[in-house]
Structures are given as C-alpha cells and as structure tokens.
Amino acid sequence: VPVRVYNFSAGPAQMPLPVLERAASELTDWAGSGMSVMEVSHRGKDFVACAADAEAALRRILAIPEGYRVLFLQGGASAQFAAIPMNLTASGETVAYLNTGQWSAKAIAEARAQEVEVVVAADEADSAYTTTPAPGSYEVPAEARYLHYTPNETIGGVEFPEIPQSHAPLVADFSSSILSRPLDVSRFGLIYAGAQKNMGPSGLAVVIVREDLLGRARPSTPSVLDYARMAKADSMLNTPPTFAVYLLGLITHWIEESGGLEAMGQRNQAKAALLYQAIDGSDFYANPVQERSRSWMNVPFTLADPSLDSEFLAGAQAAGLTNLKGHRSVGGMRASIYNAMPIEGVRALVDYMTEFERTKA
C-alpha cells in the first residue's frame, strides 16, 4: 500500500509533501508557542507576522506591483462571483464577461443576480466549451465597468493562452491556474482564486486588487466581502482562516525554494506535454480541446470505449493513481496536474494508460 498516492483531484488537490511534513512537524508546537497555529489568536503578534509573511512571499513570487492590495477572504471563489459586481459596480451598470465554460457561466449568473447589465462578449458554448475566443474576435462595450474571464476552466480543461485585451479593467478567476507560471499582474484590475488547487487548503480565497478600484462598494455589501473595508483591516475584520493562511505561507516558500514561477511554468509545461502526447499518440484516448487552448492544469480525456471507464479507474486506483474520474457533467477522465504533482506522477499515469491500452484495445 503506497504511503502517498498520486492524487489527480481537481480540488481540493494534492499538496507538496515538504509542506505537509513541515506542517505536521509544527502541528502541536508552532513557533515555540506550545500550541498549533490553529490555536493562537489571529490578532497575536505571531499570527499577524505569519499572515504578513505569506502575503510578502506571494507578492515576491507573483511580482505583484505596488498599488495592489492582497486580501485573504472566505466563501471560496464562489463568494467573489457576487462580491465583484457588489464592489465594482452600481446597480444597473454594464459589465462584460467571456463565457468559456461552467465556471464563467456561474460567475455570469451570480453577476446577473446583482442587477447589473451583463454583456456576454464571447460565448464558447457552440464549441461545447472546447475553445477560447480568438484575440480581436469580440468587443467589450465602451460603458463596461470591467471585463471578467476565467483564464483556466477547471472542468473543460480550457485555458487562455493569452491575456485578453480590454479597455475596461480586467477581472480574472485564476482559481485553477494561479501560480502555475509567471503572470503580468499589472495587466489586471482584479485577480481572485480559491486556494484549494495551487495555494493550499480550501477555506481561503485570495483577491489581488488594484487600489484605484477600491472604495466603490455598494452600501449593501456585507462588510466581510467589502474589499476596501477588508483592505483597511488587513483582512482581519473578522477571524481569518488562520490554518489556510499559514499553509499558503508554506506553499509560497516552497515555490520560491523550487525556483519560483519560471521553474513552475517549465515543469508544468513539460508535464502537460507528456500527457497530451500520450493522448494524441493513441486512438484509444482523446482530448476534445482546441490545441491552442489546452490547459496545463486540468487534462480531460475519454476512452474510445466508455464501457471500460470503471475498469480504467479501478486499475488506476490500485496503482496509486487516484481521483481520475472526470467531472460528472463531462464524463470520461480528468487528470489535474497542479504544481504539487511531480513529473513522476504524470509518467506513472502515462505508463498506466499505455499498459491499459495494450491489454484492452
């Protein structure tokens, strides 16, 4: 029985082993306190320093420019779907969205519930969400307060290879691709992400917002979702998810020690290439996504004969390759290969796929 499996879950996802080991070693006595980090006051100087350190490390690895605030919030990325229009628009104003899959569609539905005029500037539903809109193929209305898009659709495995052009501030749901490669933060008005793929456990959502967008929240905005109020309170208007913030700190340091986002990007590109090559090189496996828009993080694939799906999954599980079942809406398989998945895990998956095909095809 393997002590650690290769976990291909879309999220909560595999975490780096050194991070888990460090957390385990500090679990009952953190920073000489005689307590775990979960048991100390969030307003004590040790935890305040821990949160500041996590933010500083995140700022270093993403090279977040001055003039941006980093917020640690709760409610997942989903709470931000509503918080974004609450913070950035008045009721009745126009906003633009690119619809590339189920997560953009959810963001659109939540925005509509906030009584804004949602213009879907590009809609990839016609391709069954296997594409991203070509640059220049859509227009953002002049009056749009922002353009929202989902750089990586976790379910469809569709990723924008470029940052969209927009005169309106760009707002991006980076839940499943943040920290996977270098990013020019200065191109964005607001970046947000749930932590549970590349940044730690669930329970923490990170918002990176340009300061000039702060301070226009609607009066009805709950204070814990009001970016300006949370920024002013250093994200401690109420009790933050302390353990998740601590783990974000360990993960950002792990990324730094592993060579930063350049190194992550190279590793992730190599991992994805290996898996797509295996899929494309066989008639037994298939991935439906337009080549330029294939995700580096989430790789859905189908078997030519879906009646073999459960046997494929059972064999994978027995080989220590877990959580490969595709999203219920898509079927087939999905391998999520976030930062913490080593290339050895992808090799083990490819070897298993090759062997399964050899015996079944």
Total residues at interface with ligand PMP (CB under 6 A): 11
Q: Please tell me whether residue 265 binds ligand PMP under the rule CB under 6 A.
A: no
What would the two tokens of residue 279 be? 């899929």
Stretch that binds ligand PMP, among 169-177, 255-263, 301-309, 315-323 (CB under 6 A): 169-177
Nearer to ligand PMP, 81 or 352 (CB): 81
Q: Name every residue whose Cβ is closer than 8 Å to that of residue 313 and which is 6 or more positions away in sequence.
A: 324, 325, 333
> Number of H helices and number of E strands within the chain?
9, 14
**Phi/psi of residue 239, each to 5°?**
-70, 120
Q: Please tell me whether residue 11 binds ligand PMP under the rule CB under 6 A.
A: yes
Residues 83 and 99: their CA atoms lie apart, in Å, by 19
Nearer to ligand PMP, 129 or 284 (CB): 129
Stretch that binds ligand PMP, among 16-24, 58-66, 160-168, 171-179 (CB under 6 A): 171-179
Stretch that binds ligand PMP, among 57-65, 73-81, 285-293, 328-336 (CB under 6 A): 73-81
What would the two tokens of residue 137 be? 């193929």
Does 196 show up as a binding residue in the annotation?
A: yes
Q: Please tell me whether residue 110 binds ligand PMP under the rule CB under 6 A.
A: no
Least Cβ distance, residue 187 to ligand PMP (angstroms)? 19
Does 49 show up as a binding residue in the annotation?
A: no
**Phi/psi of residue 221, each to 5°?**
-65, 125
Assess contact for 86 and 220: CB atoms under 8 A.
yes
- Annotated catalytic residue: which of 103, 226, 271, 296? 103
Please indicate whether residue 173 is annotated as part of the active site. Answer: yes
Residues 187-226, interacting with ligand PMP (CB under 6 A): 194
Interacting residue with ligand PMP among 33, 36, 74, 78 (CB under 6 A): 78
Interacting residue with ligand PMP among 7, 89, 150, 235 (CB under 6 A): 150
Stretch that binds ligand PMP, among 27-35, 71-79, 212-220, 259-267 (CB under 6 A): 71-79
Q: Cα 239 from chain centroid? A: 23
Q: Please report the DSSP string for 206-256 in residue order.
A: EEEEEGGGTT---TTS-GGG-HHHHHHTTT-SS---HHHHHHHHHHHHHHH
H helices present in the chain, as ranges: 17-25, 45-62, 76-88, 102-112, 227-232, 242-257, 260-280, 309-318, 343-360
Residues 354 and 135: their CA atoms lie apart, in Å, by 37
Please indicate whether residue 103 is annotated as part of the active site. Answer: yes
Nearer to ligand PMP, 100 or 287 (CB): 100
Nearer to ligand PMP, 163 or 308 (CB): 163
Least Cβ distance, residue 195 to ligand PMP (angstroms)? 8
Please indicate whether residue 254 is annotated as part of the active site. Answer: no
Residues 283 and 46: their CA atoms lie apart, in Å, by 56
Residues 158 and 102: their CA atoms lie apart, in Å, by 11
Known binding residues are: 43, 77-78, 103, 154, 173, 196, 238-239
Catalytically active residues, by annotation: 103, 173, 197
**Rule CB under 6 A: which residues touch ligand PMP?**
11, 76-78, 103, 150, 154, 173, 175-176, 194
